[in-house]
Amino acid sequence: MRRSFLLLLLLLGFNSLGIAGITGKVEGVVSDIQTGAPLVGVNVILQGTSLGAASDQSGYYVILNVPAGRYSVKAIMIGYREVTVNDVRVSIDLTTKLNFQLGTETLKASESVVVVAERPLLRRDEFTSRTTVSAEDIDLQPIDNFQDIARNQAGVVGSHFRGGRSGEVLVLIDGIPVRDPAGEYSGQLGGFTSDIPESGIQEMEVTLGG
């Protein structure tokens, strides 16, 4: 089973470990396709999971703590045709924006609308450079470990991240810091030398501080 994996570069003096999460979220607005009015009480669910939310008076919904991956997201409300959006990508520590427009139910009850997601992920922080690599992308690369994945990203040369040394890289696995006790920084950072096979990575994010 693959694991969510997040790789960060922390600049000197940037010592907060609370900046990285291990899940993402899905949010958006549900409205009437004809009038544009917000719809209240629409159930938005991630199929195959127990995760979901209901839209409020402004049509807004948010689904928190969503594990990284791709999902089919369905919006359901009595009197309206259900809409399913396939291939919705959720990444660690990012927000996926997904709006729904529902039409009144004029077709048979067994019919619904199915579309494919195309909206980009909403990045919370524009002051850093982020690159997200999915398990599918990793499988297409001739690599053996996460260091090779990182070296293929812009701003990374060898073990140097924007000029910083490997000992200045903080590695998080499922939100937990991985440290190298024998590293240059006496176990404070230095996780870039950790032995993590690429087959164990569900998603990897390289974040370079500004």
Does residue 104 sit in the same domain as residue 158?
no
Q: What is the CATH number of the domain that holds 61?
A: 2.60.40.1120
Does residue 93 sit in the same domain as residue 74?
yes
pTM exceeds 0.75 for this model: no
User: How many structural domains are present in the chain?
Assistant: 2
Range of the domain at 165: 3-21+125-208
Domain boundary among 99, 122, 145: 122
pLDDT by residue for the chain (210 residues), tens only, comes to 455 554 443 433 334 444 456 788 999 999 999 999 999 999 999 999 999 999 999 999 999 999 888 899 999 999 999 999 999 999 888 899 999 999 987 655 445 565 655 555 545 544 466 777 777 787 887 777 777 777 777 767 766 666 666 666 777 777 667 766 555 554 455 556 666 666 767 777 777 665
Does residue 49 sit in the same domain as residue 134?
no
Does residue 173 sit in the same domain as residue 105?
no
Beta bridge partners of 144: none
Domain boundary among 122, 145, 169: 122
